[in-house]
Amino acid sequence: MTKPATGALADELTRIAQTVDGVSALFPARPLWQSVAGVALQAITGEALPLVALTESPGGVSVKVRIGVDAAHSAPAVARRVAQAIRSHLHRPAAAVEVSVVKIGG
């Protein structure tokens, strides 16, 4: 059974991604336009959508993060560093980590 994970580990991974050199911002792991339910929940509760999506299953763990990259850095290199930092923190080199660069600059 696959289930989304929240809480302390997701918060830790958020902090880790934010501290990677070259990351200028984190964006909700799932764009608002892809999640009507997420938009409704955010409007009702006022809670921000998670910046890191973490899903655990018997087959392993999957992480999704969307980042902004400072223009002075190489976006592919920053994305690789974020993925590596997350895998290192999880102590699972084979973890599926998807890093999307959604903004470059500023």
Per domain, the residue ranges of the chain are 3-104
Options 3.30.70.1350, 3.40.50.10800, 3.10.150.10, 3.20.20.140; CATH for 3-104 is 3.30.70.1350
Other C-beta atoms closer than 10 Å to the C-beta of 2 total 9
Residue with tokens 């990259």: 69
Mean of pLDDT over the chain: 84
pLDDT value, residue 95: 87
Q: What is the pTM of this model?
A: 0.81
User: What digits encode the pLDDT tens for the residues 22-56?
Assistant: 999 999 887 655 555 555 655 676 666 788 998 88
pLDDT value, residue 39: 59
User: What b/e sequence results for 41-60 when a residue is b if at least 16 CB atoms lie within 10 Å of its CB, and e otherwise?
Assistant: eeeeeeeebbbbbbeeeeee
pLDDT value, residue 8: 87
